[in-house]
Structure 1
């Protein structure tokens, strides 16, 4: 038998502000690295992306 649980978060205003800030920072970080790897892909002709990407992980 499968059991699934659902939880609803009900943060107060201060917690909500903290969550939104964290999500905004993650969004900016994701976009930065997406642009960075896109640049590396374009500048290397598509061949060096796998080698270069492991350097940053």
Structure 2
């Protein structure tokens, strides 16, 4: 089931999501993975992308 909205698995395939983005953690272990339905996955990814874009990186 979806770990965000609790939608049960049905005909819609669920997505595997990295709690800490793979590009940051390089972690594919089960502790860093959750199942999300496609709408929740899009929502979570949009939030993460906004947060990453808003981070200021000092050079």
Q: Same fold (TM over 0.5)?
A: no
Which of the pair has the greater relative contact order for Cα pairs under 8 Å at 6+ separation?
Answer: 2
Higher strand share: 2
Give the greater-gyration-radius structure (CA).
Answer: 1
Under a length normalisation based on structure 2, what TM-score does the superposition of the two structures give?
0.39
Higher helix share: 1
Under a length normalisation based on structure 1, what TM-score does the superposition of the two structures give?
0.40
